[in-house]
Chain A
Amino acid sequence: MASHQFDNVDRSGSVSGPPSGGDYALDRSFRGIAWFSAALILALVVYIVVEIGGKAMPAIAEHGLGFLTSTAWNVQTGQFGILPQIWGTLYSSLLALILGGVFGVAIAIFLTQDFLPSRLAMVFRTIIELLAAIPSVVFGLWGIYVLIPLLRPVANWLHANLGGVPFFGTSLSGPGLAPAALVLAIMILPTVASISVDALRQIPYKVKEAAYGMGTTRWEAILKVMLPTASSGILAALVLGFGRALGETMALAMLIGNSNQISLSLFAPANTLAALLASSFPEAGPVEVRALMYAALALLAITLIVNAVGLAVMKFATRKFEAER
Chain B
Amino acid sequence: MAIRLLLTAALGLAGMVSLAFGQNPAPTPTTAANERVALRGAGATFPAPLYLKWIDVYTKANPNVAIEYQAIGSGEGTKLFLENTVDFGASDAALTDEQIKRAKAGATLVPATAGALVLAYNLPDMEGKLKLSREVYADIFLGKIREWNDPRIQALNPDLKLPKQTIILVARQDSSGTTYALTHHLSAINEAWRKGPGTGKTVDWPGVSMTARGNEGVAGRIKRSWGSLGYVEYGFAKRLGLPMVHLQNKAGAFVEPNLNSGQAALAANVGQIPSNLRVFLPDPEGQDSYPIVTFTWLLLHDQYPDPRKSAALKGFVGWALADGQRYSGDEGYIPLPDGVATLARAAVDRVR
A interface residues (Cβ-Cβ under 8 A, vs B): 72, 74-77, 144, 148, 152, 156, 159-160, 163, 169-175, 254, 257-261, 263, 267-269, 279-280, 283, 285
A280 to B211, CA, bound (A): 11
Docked-complex contact B72 and A283, CB < 8 angstroms = yes
Interface string of B151-168 (1 = CB under 8 A from A): 000000000000111101
Q: A72-B204, A76-B200 are in contact. Are A279 and B209 (CB under 8 A)?
A: no
Q: A259-B208, A259-B209, A279-B213 are in contact. Are A76 and B166 (CB under 8 A)?
A: no
Assess whether B174 is interfacial by the CB under 8 Å rule: yes
Looking at the assembled complex, report how far the CB atom of A128 sits from the nearest CB atom of chain B, in whole angstroms: 30
Docked-complex contact B208 and A170, CB < 8 angstroms = yes
Assess whether B79 is interfacial by the CB under 8 Å rule: yes
Docked-complex contact B165 and A283, CB < 8 angstroms = no
CB proximity to A under 8 Å, residues B208-248: 208-213, 221, 224-228
**Which residue, B203, B208, B210, B227, has most C-beta atoms of chain A within 10 A?**
B210
Q: A160-B164, A259-B208 are in contact. Are A171 and B202 (CB under 8 A)?
A: no
Docked-complex contact A269 and B213, CB < 8 angstroms = no
Residue in contact with B165 in the complex, picked from A74, A173, A260, A261, CB distance below 8 Å: A173
Interface string of B169-192 (1 = CB under 8 A from A): 000011100000000000000000
A23 to B158, CA, bound (A): 91
Docked-complex contact A74 and B204, CB < 8 angstroms = yes
Determine the chain A residues whose CB is within 8 A of the CB of B224 once the complex forms.
144, 148, 174-175
A279 to B1, CA, bound (A): 10
- Chain B, residue nearest A72 (CB): B204
6 closest residue pairs by CB, A with B = A174-B225, A170-B166, A173-B225, A171-B165, A173-B168, A173-B227
Assess whether B314 is interfacial by the CB under 8 Å rule: no
Looking at the assembled complex, report how far the CB atom of A98 sits from the nearest CB atom of chain B, in whole angstroms: 24
Determine the chain A residues whose CB is within 8 A of the CB of B173 once the complex forms.
258, 279-280
Looking at the assembled complex, report how far the CB atom of A313 sits from the nearest CB atom of chain B, in whole angstroms: 36
Docked-complex contact B164 and A159, CB < 8 angstroms = yes
Determine the chain A residues whose CB is within 8 A of the CB of B203 once the complex forms.
74
A269 to B213, CA, bound (A): 16
Taking A75-B75, A75-B175, A283-B76 as known contacts, 10 extra A-B pairs with beta carbons closer than 8 A to each other, sorted by chain A number, are A144-B224, A156-B165, A170-B168, A172-B226, A173-B165, A173-B228, A258-B210, A258-B211, A269-B209, A279-B173
Determine the chain A residues whose CB is within 8 A of the CB of B205 once the complex forms.
260
- Chain B, residue nearest A145 (CB): B224
Assess whether B309 is interfacial by the CB under 8 Å rule: no
A207 to B210, CA, bound (A): 54
Determine the chain B residues whose CB is within 8 A of the CB of A269 once the complex forms.
168, 208-210
Looking at the assembled complex, report how far the CB atom of A214 sits from the nearest CB atom of chain B, in whole angstroms: 55
Assess whether B131 is interfacial by the CB under 8 Å rule: no
Determine the chain B residues whose CB is within 8 A of the CB of A267 once the complex forms.
166
Residue in contact with A75 in the complex, picked from B202, B213, B221, B226, CB distance below 8 Å: B202
- Chain A, residue nearest B171 (CB): A259
Residue in contact with A152 in the complex, picked from B75, B164, B201, B226, CB distance below 8 Å: B226
| 28 pairs of residues in contact across A and B, judged by CB atoms under 8 Å | A72-B204, A74-B202, A75-B174, A76-B175, A76-B201, A77-B200, A156-B165, A159-B164, A170-B166, A171-B165, A171-B226, A173-B225, A173-B227, A174-B168, A174-B221, A174-B224, A174-B225, A257-B210, A257-B225, A258-B212, A260-B209, A260-B211, A261-B209, A267-B166, A279-B173, A283-B73, A283-B174, A285-B79
Q: A76-B75, A159-B165, A269-B168 are in contact. Are A259 and B211 (CB under 8 A)?
A: yes
Looking at the assembled complex, report how far the CB atom of A284 sits from the nearest CB atom of chain B, in whole angstroms: 9
- Chain A, residue nearest B168 (CB): A173
- Chain B, residue nearest A268 (CB): B208
Looking at the assembled complex, report how far the CB atom of A92 sits from the nearest CB atom of chain B, in whole angstroms: 15
Residue in contact with B76 in the complex, picked from A169, A260, A285, CB distance below 8 Å: A285
A285 to B227, CA, bound (A): 33
**Which residue, B75, B122, B201, B226, has most C-beta atoms of chain A within 10 A?**
B226
Docked-complex contact A174 and B213, CB < 8 angstroms = no
Determine the chain B residues whose CB is within 8 A of the CB of A172 once the complex forms.
226
Looking at the assembled complex, report how far the CB atom of B75 sits from the nearest CB atom of chain A, in whole angstroms: 7
Looking at the assembled complex, report how far the CB atom of B113 sits from the nearest CB atom of chain A, in whole angstroms: 24
Looking at the assembled complex, report how far the CB atom of B129 sits from the nearest CB atom of chain A, in whole angstroms: 21
Q: A76-B200, A283-B174, A285-B76 are in contact. Are A173 and B166 (CB under 8 A)?
A: yes
**Which residue, A152, A160, A258, has most C-beta atoms of chain B within 10 A?**
A258
**Which residue, B79, B208, B212, B213, has most C-beta atoms of chain A within 10 A?**
B208
Interface string of B25-39 (1 = CB under 8 A from A): 000000000000000
Interface string of B275-308 (1 = CB under 8 A from A): 0000000000000000000000000000000000
